[in-house]
């Protein structure tokens, strides 16, 4: 009887050709998947959830890797989960990839696109504060990336990985030049994610003043590197104007140009920036002295 029921259970998939498919076909033999890849897929489906934290807490996910998530509205998407750093449950929701540090604001840059951050075109395409999505997890060190989790997940903290450009997913942890996360739960005060934070603090030229109108600042805890290695990567000139060991969102310089984030540092002075400003990530080369290692890396953003 047991054997028979198993056999019947297995008749879940099709006989004959795809186009003539109307009857099911076995997927198990003796309780084992005939196709182990289907087993892997079913395992991922079984833990489908709104975030990696939920997968960890409700469904016991413990391995770093790709999982299947859903938005509140029922859009399904694949995401990378870091299940181990500082307790795990981190969802990769975005990356900023600069293929050419001089090409900031260049065409193809999905975060600030064709509209720069000057007086005439004060606002970018607004990707920081809208629901547009682009790229994919496996491509996130080669291309800009933003998945639905960016606006859909309700989170408390962020984690940031600086990974050399074009590094493949399986090497991310070992090749990271900097990894750090917040523990301040600062996102709770800003709507639970960066989408809501940037709705509140738009990345728009002239929308505020240096220092007094900074969006959010949080200290970070290091997972790879430390305050000193961060300072070294940003270069000697940055040291005068920035303090490492923090992450800062929506920053104005003395010229009232807005940056989306200064990752790894917080500004301490309001000197005019001589470098071209660009609405998303000038933080990468704040004073024009950042190391090649830093400017040729992608910045991966996680929520928890």
Confirm or reject binding of residue 171 to a copy of itself (CB under 8 A).
no
Q: At which residue do the structure tokens 């009887």 appear? A: 1
Site residues for a copy of itself, 5-24, by CB under 8 A, read 5-6, 8-9, 11-14, 17-19, 21-24
Considering only 116, 148, 279, 283, the residue that binds a copy of itself (CB under 8 A) is 148
Please tell me the distance from the alpha carbon of residue 251 to that of residue 201, in angstroms, as a whole number.
9
Q: Are 28 and 9 within 8 A, CB to CB?
A: yes
Total number of residues binding a copy of itself (CB under 8 A)? 84
Which of 61-81 are b and which e, b meaning 16 or more Cβ less than 10 Å from the residue's Cβ?
beebeebbbbbeeeeeeebbb
Complex with a copy of itself: residue 31 or 236, whichever CB lies closer: 31
Q: Which backbone phi and psi does 47 adopt, to 5 degrees?
A: -105, 20
Please give, one letter per residue, the 3-state secondary structure of 193-226. CHHHHHHHCCCECCCCCCCCCCCEEEECEEEECC
Site residues for a copy of itself, 44-103, by CB under 8 A, read 44-50, 58-59, 62-63, 65-66, 70-76, 78, 99-100, 103
- Hey, how many other C-beta atoms are within 10 angstroms of the C-beta on 226? 13
Least CB distance to a copy of itself at residue 16 (A): 9
Least CB distance to a copy of itself at residue 118 (A): 14
Site residues for a copy of itself, 98-137, by CB under 8 A, read 99-100, 103, 106-108, 113-115, 125-126, 129-133, 135-137
Q: Are 197 and 186 within 8 A, CB to CB?
A: no
Least CB distance to a copy of itself at residue 56 (A): 13
Complex with a copy of itself: residue 128 or 186, whichever CB lies closer: 128
Considering only 84, 118, 138, 164, the residue that binds a copy of itself (CB under 8 A) is 138
Q: Which stretch binds a copy of itself (CB under 8 A): 3-11, 156-164, 209-217, 272-280?
A: 3-11
């Amino acid at each position: 009887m047991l054997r028979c029921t198993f056999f019947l259970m297995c008749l879940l998939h099709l006989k004959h050709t795809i186009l003539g498919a109307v009857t099911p076909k076995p997927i198990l033999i003796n309780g084992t998947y005939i196709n182990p890849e289907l087993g892997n897929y079913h395992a991922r489906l079984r833990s489908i959830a709104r975030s990696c934290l939920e997968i960890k807490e409700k469904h016991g996910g413990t391995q770093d890797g790709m999982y299947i998530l859903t938005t509140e509205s029922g859009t399904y998407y694949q995401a990378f989960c870091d299940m181990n750093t500082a307790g795990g449950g981190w969802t990769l929701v975005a990356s900023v990839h600069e293929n050419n540090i001089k090409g900031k604001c260049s065409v193809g840059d999905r975060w600030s696109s064709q509209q720069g951050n000057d007086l005439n075109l004060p606002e970018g395409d607004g990707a920081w504060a809208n629901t547009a999505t682009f790229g994919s997890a496996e491509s996130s060190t080669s291309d800009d990336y933003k998945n639905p989790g960016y606006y859909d997940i309700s989170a408390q903290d962020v984690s940031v990985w600086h990974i050399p450009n074009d590094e493949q997913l399986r090497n991310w942890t070992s090749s990271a030049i900097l990894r750090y996360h917040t523990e301040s739960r600062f996102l709770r005060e800003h709507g639970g994610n960066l989408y809501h934070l940037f709705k509140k603090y738009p990345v728009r030229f002239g929308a505020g003043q240096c220092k007094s109108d900074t969006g959010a600042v949080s200290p970070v805890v290091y997972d790879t590197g430390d305050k000193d290695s961060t300072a070294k990567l940003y270069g000697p000139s940055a040291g005068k104007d920035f303090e490492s060991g923090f992450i800062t969102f929506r920053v104005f310089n003395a010229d009232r140009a807005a940056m989306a984030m200064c990752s790894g540092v917080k500004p301490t002075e309001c000197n005019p920036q001589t470098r071209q400003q660009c609405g998303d990530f000038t933080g990468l080369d704040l004073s024009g002295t950042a190391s090649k290692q830093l400017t040729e890396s992608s910045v991966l953003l996680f929520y928890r």
